Structure 1
Amino acid sequence: MLFELLNGIAVLKFDALWTTTLAIILLLIGFAIRNKVGIIGRFCIPAPVIGGLLMSITTLILHHTGNFTVQFTTSMQSPMMLAFFTTVGVGVSFGLLKKGGRALIIYLVFCWVLAAIQNAFGAGLASALGLNPLLGIMAGAVSLEGGHGAAAAFGPMVEGLGVKGAAAVAIASATFGLIAGGLLGGPVAKTLIERHHLKIEANADTMFQKSADDILNEQSERKVTSAALLSTLALVLILMVIGSYLSQYIARLTAGTNFSLPGYVTAMFAAVVFRNLNDHLHFVKINSSCIDIISDISIGIFLTMAMMSLRIWDLYDLALPLIVILMLQTTLIVLLAMFVLFRLLGRDYDAVVMCSGFIGHGLGATPNAVANMGSVCERYGVMSYKAFLIVPLCGAVLIDLVGIPNIVWFINFFANR
């Protein structure tokens, strides 16, 4: 850590060690606040967002004093981001598709279509409001269906293309989406049930209950030991290296163009390929509990660093147009859930529960979806195992197969215009 005066301005510089230490402390503070403040826990606001936002608000206050500034060295942010997306890829098993049947395919394809709609709609709205269309993409699938993880990953990438405020817009949109997704899922479910006079009964097929129970119980069957954690970490690091190499190779092939493919995208797809080859050839035993631990730690540190270094003042001139875009995006997903997805899924109680989950992760994140579905099932006293199998599988795992490439394509398309 270094303190110095530059042109009459006090500058506090945190080196990589200090920055990482501060990020972990803020992450722990975020967990403590989320556990003690009921409304924050109810909307599933991530601990990294809470802790990191405290620091970004502090730097905002210091920024407005005009004589004090803070600088962070976030060199650990990139490897943590790479590790997180690699663990996402390891979790994508195509064998999961068999468990959900036709309803899972319908739901998953609809989620993939939503990602394209959110980006196209956001870019169009931004252009109509006189903004760079890339900012509309930041307020589209990047932050809504993608959540804070994708927002923190793609925001700096777009800022690197010269779009000021992209990271702040993405993070702000993701936070808005979490709150909106948590608020709207239940009311939409209630409206659908009452409007269509639905019977409160779930699919009786024991396949869904067994599959859902299998997925929930799989975690407890994998013990976490130091050897298991070390071998899992080695696997993740190897896949990260392969992904980084692929990204560099693609960059050489596309030299001279504006096409960009981030290393965390190639790492994720390298992990997807490995996971599904391993499901058939059984190279190694994948400990899902260890994968979850690495995922939680990496996303926690990565997202906290992204939040704590956020320049909130970049949002000032974008606040009103951003609110307009987000309100219209929210209206769009509610209409799609009520008038399209509900019918495609069979117009029954299970479809209602899945629509409430769809709004939760289509605007926010998978924990919002689970919270919404749990609230609906508790309210009506009937558990929808079908919904609890399909929605988390799609929202947390399978959606990224198309969602991430879709984001990359839209960014490259508008960056080259």
Structure 2
Amino acid sequence: MALDPETFGALLDTVRRFVAERLRPLEEKVAEEDEVPEDIVREMRELGLFGLSIPEEFGGLGLTMSEEVRVALEFGRTTPAFRSVFGTNVGIGSQGLVMAGSDAQKAAWLPRIASGEIVASFALTEPGAGSDSASVQTRAVRDGDVYLLSGSKRFITNADKASLFTVMARTAGEGAHGVSAFLVPADLPGLSVGKPEKKMGQQGAHVCDVNFDETPVPVANRLGAEGEGFRIAMRVLDRGRLHIAAVCVGVAERLIADAVAYASDRRQFGKPLADFQLVQAMIADSKTEALAARALVLETAARKDAGDPIVLECAAAKYFASEMVGRVADRAVQIFGGAGYIADYGIERLYRDVRLFRIYEGTSQIQQLVIARETIKNGG
């Protein structure tokens, strides 16, 4: 159920000011230290950001998808690492539980996820299973009242902060139908988390390996029935892809604003860069593509709220928006010229940050396959 317009408007205004006044001044510090300050995390909890998508009955804000993507747009106007702090709680870390959890599972975990007391993470990717996510080899073997979980997960967002993982593991034969989903507390024996990886961009947002050595997971922690894990994961990713598409649009709008400000101030040949038509062409292309992506995101979110099937549209939004923001970032560097290559201006940092959007939660190539499959299935 949507918030009333006045309440939601106040939330958006608060988020907008939080991004502008608290987060953007800290971008360089977070990039250098590879850590978001704890006082910022605490403020995010107080603002309710960890529970944006969690139903009100469990302590969340219960935003509709249309409302959630508008909040994500605002968070796109700063380094993506800030959104990542609560992003897994809002998206892939909690939504399997929201969609498929039992009443007891929801009551046990969702209030603490919504408050930010615990961080939830999503463990699907493995050393040998990335885009081919149905080929996971982590195994869960039932032994009485527990499943013994063994295997390794890779590039897991917020793993070093997580208290709860949604883990996809094989309980039967090969293929998607042999995968089941489990809620795995981080303090169970046999579970270990590796060191954060050194990355190209998005410093402050950590990804780590997660290893399981006959970790005893109670049968009561299985999400849904055996063999339903892959279906749950795909539903979670559909929603996550739309959220990421919205973040991409927000970053693009930030880059365009920065490029326009620089081009208006920087003078060459006796006049501002913004007066040169070839610079104007880059601005025009960027603005047009960002507007198109924004429209696609908002329309898809509205269709999801209406209960329409949106597998194709989520894939299209994520594909178009993530590719779009890469082009916009490249043009922004070009408009800044030599300054765009210098760390002090921040543009090169955003250029590196946005590169990941074309890879995680389904590569652009996977989105193309989904779009083509759904289009052909639907007869065009």
TM-score under structure 1 length normalisation: 0.27
Q: Comparing both structures, which one devotes a greater share of its residues to strand?
A: 2
Taking structure 2 as the reference length, what is the TM-score of the superposition? Answer: 0.29
